[in-house]
Structure formats: C-alpha cells, structure tokens
Structure 1
Amino acid sequence: MTTKLISSIQNPFIRQLVQLKDKSRERKKSGTFLIEGEREVSLAFKGNYEIETVLFYPELFSLEQLNNLITLQTNLIEISKEVYEKLAYRDTTEGVLAIAKSKEHIISNLKFNTKNPLILVAEAPEKPGNIGALLRTADAANADAVIIANPKTDLYNPNIIRSSVGCVFTNQIATGTTTEIISFLKSKNINIYAAILQESVAYHTQDYTKPTAIVVGTEATGLSEEWRINATQNIIIPMQGEIDSMNVSVAAGILIFEAKRQRDFK
C-alpha cells in the first residue's frame, strides 16, 4: 500500500477540498464531494459510488481499519492533524475522509426490483437535517426509492450526509420537478397518497399494498396544489393536541410504516 503525505493546510489540493466541503457550487462544478466518517465511506463503497481518494489521519484511523475499508485500487493520502481538522465537518472525529464522484439522480433512471414499489416523495425540503431524517426513514423501511421534488439543496451537502448517517448512499434517489414526478408516477401506475389537509381522509383508512407513493411537504407550506389535484387520495394524520402539523420526517415515518405494516400482514 503506497500513500503520500500532506501536512500543510496551504496545500492547493487541500484548499480545493475545503471549497468542496463548503460550497455547493464547487461540488456541482467538479462533480465530486467529500465524505467524512468510517460508516459513511463504507456505505458509499457499498452503494457503488466511485471513490477517487481516501484521506486518513493515522492517529485516529489505523492502517488495519483502512485495510478493512478500501479496495486495492483506492488512492490514499495520509494527512496531518492540522489538515484533518481543517477538512473535518464533525466534532466527533474518526480520522477518515473520502472524495467521491456524484451520481446523476434523474427520475427516468429509477429502476424497481418489484412490481409493487413503495416510494417516499418529499416536495421542496429545505433543511438538510430533515432531508437526512427522511433518508434514514426510507432506509429503515427499505423503501424502493426516495424522490425529492423541487430540491432546495444538493444531496451531497455535508449536513445531509451527516444527518442521514450515510443513508444518502443506501437509498435509490431521484430528483425532478413536481410535474415530472407526477407524470412518472402515473406512467408507472403508482398510486399517489398526498399528505395534505384539503379533501383528505385519515391515513389508516387507505390500502397501501399496491404500488404506492407517499408524498409529504414542508411544515411551513405543505404540498403544492398540483399534488392535491393529482393524488389518488389525499391523506391526513389526525392531530389530537393543540398544533396542526408535525415534523415532516416524523409524518413520513408514520405514513410509510403504516404501508409496511399493511404489506407485512397482507
């Protein structure tokens, strides 16, 4: 195993990686992004992401751990503590980072291994923490895909990778406009259940055992009118307290696990 050492934060390559970490524009321009953490890097390998380089700080991440993580072809760079702290995004550090190539998330590329897919759709989620939580929920439910309509942030934002604990790599993900996604779902004969107040029924009264897309919006604005008009059925989670909405990832979890419950006991 051959590695090179970079010890200065003024190194041009390291300065480029800082830009990659901090700026969405740089990620889009280069088609690459930075991953931090052993589990996250491992899941990226497992998710067939092309890993260009792995960087490690040997006092935190041993050669034995490195051998268990990488392939023989992986390009390796040993970095100093100063460089690692400059690149690391999290306070709880593990000593390993990777540079990976972004994937295209075109909706027409979605492939389902079942004739009865279960899909989670989120319209215009803004907060990386919410997007990460949605991806964790989808992974936990083993959903067939996550589709993000009208995305407000890029999927490879470090906050999304962190809050999803790497589930950005374990889910099949697509993005598109609301119109494109509705057209795709209808072309595949997938029932659309939109979580929306208007013309809605209680979520547990519906049958999710057929091809199903669960659609959620933001707490602030909810779903757009286009979903209300095109849904197979609008659904609601009855509220019994003083407030009339809940966090989008919590709502998504309730809805998608009701679909799982029905399918498990079908």
Structure 2
Amino acid sequence: MARLREVLNRRQPDLTVVTDFVHKQRNLSAIVRNCDAVGIQRMHAVIGTEDYKTFRGTAMGSHHWVDVDTHQNPAAVLDALKASGYQLVAAHFDEQATDYRLVDYTLPTGILLGAERRGVSAIALERVDRCITIPMVGMVESYNVSVAAGIILAEAQRQREAAGMYAQCRLEASSWERLFFEWGHPRVRDFCRERGLSYPPLDAEGEIDNPSGWYADVREGRAPMEDKNND
C-alpha cells in the first residue's frame, strides 16, 4: 500500500502519449511500460477498425498501471487534447522539425508517435504544434518507436523533476482515490464493476473498512450503486 501511494503521488496527469496506428503489440506494450516509468497515467492508442477488438482483448488486459484509451482515428483525441490546453508534438522529421530536447515538457504535453514504416498520418500532422527529432550519428535512419518514446519521455521526466513536478501529488483527489482502490483491491474492483456497485470505503491502512458488513449489505441489496457521473 505504501508503494501504491508513492507511485500515485508522482503521477503526471498533464503528460500523455498518443500512438498513431502503431499496431505491433510488443511496441505498444513497451510504450505503455515507458509511460508507467515516467508517471503517465493515461495514454491513447489510435488503431484501425479491424484491430480495435483484437487490441482490447489482448493488450488492454496486460497493463494494470496505465489507463490506455483506444480510438479509431487520431482527429478526435488530438482535438480534445488541444481543447484542454495541451501542446502537441510529433516525433516526425520535416524541414521545421527541432531537437526533441528544445521542447518545454513542463507544459501540458501530448507526444505523438507513428508506426515505424508509415510514420505519423497526415490528419494527425495537421493538428500538431511542432515536429521533433532525435539526433542520430549512425547509419540507420530512425529508432524503434518504443525506443524513441523512451528517449523523449526520459527528457520530459528530467525537465519535470527539475521543476519539482514530482515532489507533490498532482492527481485530483477523486482520481487518486479511485486508482488507489483499484490497484490495491483488484478482485473487489472487478466484483463491483460486474454489479455496478460503488467501491466500499477504506480504512487508514488502505484495507476495506468492515468487509463482512459491506458484503452483507451487498447480499441484502443495501450497498450503494455506482454513480455514473463520477470519475
């Protein structure tokens, strides 16, 4: 429970990654791990209609610590981030692309990554504020997409660490409490989700307060139902 508190207190709610038709599960899984490592709580995966159900059935179940939202086109998610005040930077080479280290990642930031062969889609490029590149001195033209994500996110973490952004909890209280319960009590989480129940209260140690009494209320139909309007 102490470890869960420590991790949640360092989550960065205004830093995210958007993958643009990155289909290979090993790359997606590696990017999710990169997100967790630097404190990203929510990332976005844009995938095609034909891959949507497959991705939800395989990749989603393996990631317990990062929320992965899936989308069938990049326009909606990028527009939503933009409307929320995020700067959007794409790992993509063009004539105006700048060194990835020149971006101020202490601002609310969405980092856009395309598939290795296809790159970032035209519809996504229309919505980004700038393109960035990672300088290379070898013969190969680009890094693997998950490696590129790790390099860029490490710089974002460095900047945010220097700015003190990991020194205090930045998640909203409702989100913190929800995640703390879901991470600490996954079986009860699934039980409540299946029945549309609110999560039971926790005591000071992070354990369910009076679990036998709560379950008796569930059996008798007295347990409160989930409020769909809450986070």
Q: TM > 0.5 between the two? A: yes
Moved more, 149-158 or 234-243: 149-158
In structure 1, what is the Cα distance between the partners aligned to 2:135 and 2:57?
34
Q: Is the contact between residue 86 and residue 108 of structure 2 (CA under 8 Å) also seen in structure 1? A: yes
CA-based RMSD: 2.3
Q: Provide Cα deviations, 1:3-30, integer angstroms capped at 9, x if missing partner.
A: xxxxxxxxxxxxxxxxxxxxxxxxxxxx
Instruction: Verify: 1:240 aligned to 2:145, yes or no.
Output: no
Aligned with residue 261 of structure 1, among 158, 161, 177: 158
Q: Is the contact between residue 14 and residue 109 of structure 2 (CA under 8 Å) also seen in structure 1? A: yes
In structure 2, what is the Cα distance between the partners aligned to 1:259 and 1:195?
14
1:41-190 to structure 2, matched below 5 A, reads 117-151=14-48, 152-153=51-52, 154-158=54-58, 160=59, 166=62, 168-176=63-71, 177-190=73-86
In structure 1, what is the Cα distance between the partners aligned to 2:13 and 2:28?
24
Q: Provide Cα deviations, 1:133-157, integer angstroms capped at 9, x if missing partner.
A: 1111111111131101135353344
Residue in structure 2 matched with residue 207 of structure 1 by the alignment = 104
In structure 1, what is the Cα distance between the partners aligned to 2:11 and 2:60?
27
In structure 2, what is the Cα distance between the partners aligned to 1:229 and 1:156?
27
Q: CA deviation at 1:229?
A: 2.3
In structure 2, what is the Cα distance between the partners aligned to 1:157 and 1:251?
26
* Fraction of identical pairs, as percent: 29
Q: Is the contact between residue 128 and residue 157 of structure 1 (CA under 8 Å) also seen in structure 2? A: no
Higher relative CO (CA 8 A, sep ≥ 6), structure 1 or 2? 2
Residue in structure 2 matched with residue 65 of structure 1 by the alignment = none
Query: Which amino acid counterpart does residue 64 of structure 2 have in structure 1?
Result: F
Q: Is the contact between residue 115 and residue 211 of structure 1 (CA under 8 Å) also seen in structure 2? A: no
In structure 1, what is the Cα distance between the partners aligned to 2:11 and 2:39?
12
Q: 5+ residue gaps in structure 1? A: 1-45, 47-112
SS at match of 2:33: helix
Query: Which amino acid counterpart does residue 253 of structure 1 have in structure 2?
Result: G
In structure 2, what is the Cα distance between the partners aligned to 1:255 and 1:115?
15
Query: Which amino acid counterpart does residue 143 of structure 1 have in structure 2?
Result: I
In structure 1, what is the Cα distance between the partners aligned to 2:100 and 2:116?
17
In structure 2, what is the Cα distance between the partners aligned to 1:157 and 1:242?
38
Q: CA deviation at 1:228?
A: 2.2
Q: Provide Cα deviations, 1:26-54, integer angstroms capped at 9, x if missing partner.
A: xxxxxxxxxxxxxxxxxxxx9xxxxxxxx
SS at match of 1:249: helix
Matched residues, number? 150
Q: What is the TM-score when the length of structure 2 is the normalising length?
A: 0.60
Q: Is the contact between residue 12 and residue 39 of structure 2 (CA under 8 Å) also seen in structure 1? A: no
In structure 2, what is the Cα distance between the partners aligned to 1:145 and 1:188?
14
Q: What is the TM-score when the length of structure 1 is the normalising length?
A: 0.52
Q: CA deviation at 1:239?
A: 1.6
Larger fraction in helix = 2
SS at match of 1:183: helix
Q: Is the contact between residue 116 and residue 212 of structure 1 (CA under 8 Å) also seen in structure 2? A: no
Residue in structure 2 matched with residue 194 of structure 1 by the alignment = 90
Q: CA deviation at 1:233?
A: 1.3
Q: Is the contact between residue 208 and residue 263 of structure 1 (CA under 8 Å) also seen in structure 2? A: yes
